[in-house]
Amino acid sequence: MSEELFDVIFFGILQAGKDKETVMQNMATMFKTDAAKLAPYFAGGRKVIKGKINAEAAEKYRTALENVGLVIKIEPCVADQSETPKESAQTKADSQATPAKEAASSINTGSITMAEVGVDVLENPIEVVAQKIEDISSITMADTGADVLQQHADVVAQKIEDISNISMAELGTDVLDQPTEVVAQKIDDISEISMAEAGAYIIANPKPKDKTPEPDISELSLDETKTEP
């Protein structure tokens, strides 16, 4: 029995919070290519980044590409993976280069036509029963800006005591009669303390960060960009 093969699929979706330009640049660095050449992969639709590889290699691609910021899906190859000894290298290359064309040519669209503009294309639309509307002849529209509330909530005015003896303090005056006394704290000798340079790392013994082991990507490569329906 031949080994099951898989395709590494990308639908143009990035992980949350990832910037497209940054992801493209990182992906270009990983595959040692120009970021502009990767634009077709980010145009949407189903793209095969690497096809017809075993499960171990597919997971290797998934890990590397997800670390860059892509959302990757691994799918089993649909086509028959068996290869006869008489199959030539050119035949194999042609079969791998045009899966989208072969799939498209296998669909018979001869009987499909385009409906006229405005035609209802639903064969069995859901029937919507019109609701009965009662007599609305007595209903009128209020003028723009009119208050349409018939019974306003009564707001009881609060009684204000005599304020004739209240005056306004001068601008900047401390209006607190008895402000809280703030006792100055004693500062010890700080003559030996100096300021670090801007951007200097001031933690003497930082706690080491746990780093996710990076997979070996030296053998990774890209397949030719193909858009599949």
The answer to whether 96 touches 51, Cβ cutoff 8 Å, is yes
**pLDDT tens-digit profile, the chain (229 residues):** 678 999 999 999 999 999 999 999 999 998 888 988 898 999 889 999 999 999 999 999 999 999 999 999 999 987 554 444 444 444 444 554 444 444 444 444 455 556 666 666 565 667 777 878 888 787 888 888 787 777 777 888 888 888 888 888 888 787 777 778 888 888 888 778 777 787 776 776 777 777 666 767 777 777 776 555 5
Distance CA(89)–CA(98), nearest Å, equals 15
For residue 218, what pLDDT is reported?
74
Residue 75, C-beta contacts closer than 8 angstroms, at least 6 positions apart = 6, 7, 9
Q: Which two tokens stand for residue 4?
A: 């099951």
215 vs 61: CA distance, rounded Å: 9
228's CB contacts (< 8 A; 6+ apart) are 45, 46, 47, 48, 99, 100, 103
Strand order in 46-53's β-sheet? 70-76, 6-14, 46-53, 227-228
- Cα 184 off chain centre by: 52
Given this model, what pLDDT does residue 114 score? Answer: 61
The C-alpha angle 5, 6, 9, rounded to 5 degrees, equals 165
